[in-house]
Chain A
Amino acid sequence: AQTVTQSQPEMSVQEAETVTLSCTYDTSENNYYLFWYKQPPSRQMILVIRQEAYKQQNATENRFSVNFQKAAKSFSLKISDSQLGDTAMYFCAFMKLNNNDMRFGAGTRLTVKP
């Protein structure tokens, strides 16, 4: 079974600074997908970024980037130039290839301070 671990229950960062959220996972699969979702107080789950395991290049989406270390089974999220609107719960998620049920980590509550 796949497990996803987020070891940081809470994080905070000053506005405009950079923060990194950690995620590790356990799987015997070789091909899979990894995701970071953001859940603001509105509770809407918003896809932030995704990474295909077969791609060596780290995914980037504007201020969001990942550090994907396949051998170490690590998938951290870096948020640059943090904004107040980035305040939310962030969930790391794993999904096997061609199997859409996603496994989520416990989440990290990020607070961006003015």
Chain B
Amino acid sequence: SAVISQKPSRDICQRGTSLTIQCQVDSQVTMMFWYRQQPGQSLTLIATANQGSEATYESGFVIDKFPISRPNLTFSTLTVSNMSPEDSSIYLCSVDSIPGQGGYGVNFGQGTRLTVV
């Protein structure tokens, strides 16, 4: 399965600032996703990162707050903009488990623990 490297692993940020999280995969993958896991909660899909086009956002998430880039088939970034304490969460990158195919499950990066103070 694909190896996913996510950076940074954790950060403490001031409110009002922005943080960009990077996700690097060791092989080309069709689908990349960004999830948020709020403290003590389950995972919620933020958006699907599409290569060569705008990301597809889930209800409750908007591009101005969570801009996403996907310049190629192995890399994506998620920016958390104008942060507030409510953005304190774990952010996880994931990719489909079979490169070039969909619909069979995903593998996750190790996550970025963000604390906004």
Contacts and interface: CB of A to CB of B under 8 A. Distances in A.
Interface of A: 33, 35, 37, 42-45, 47, 50, 91, 95-107
Interface of B: 31, 33, 37, 41-45, 48, 58, 90, 92, 94, 96-97, 102-108, 110-111, 113
Contacts of A35: 105
Nearest to B90: A43
Contacts of B45: 101-103
The secondary-structure label for the interface of chain A is loop
Name the residue in B33, B37, B103 with the highest tally of chain A Cβ atoms < 10 Å from its Cβ: B103
25 contacts: A37-B108, A42-B110, A43-B111, A43-B113, A44-B110, A45-B43, A45-B108, A47-B105, A47-B107, A50-B105, A91-B43, A95-B103, A97-B103, A98-B103, A99-B103, A100-B31, A100-B48, A100-B102, A100-B103, A100-B106, A101-B33, A104-B43, A105-B42, A106-B41, A107-B42
The secondary-structure label for the interface of chain B is strand
A44 to B, nearest CB: 5
A42 B110 CA distance: 8
B58 A101 contact: yes
A15 B64 CA distance: 48
Given A91-B42, A104-B42, A106-B42, A44 B102 contact: no
B110 to A, nearest CB: 5
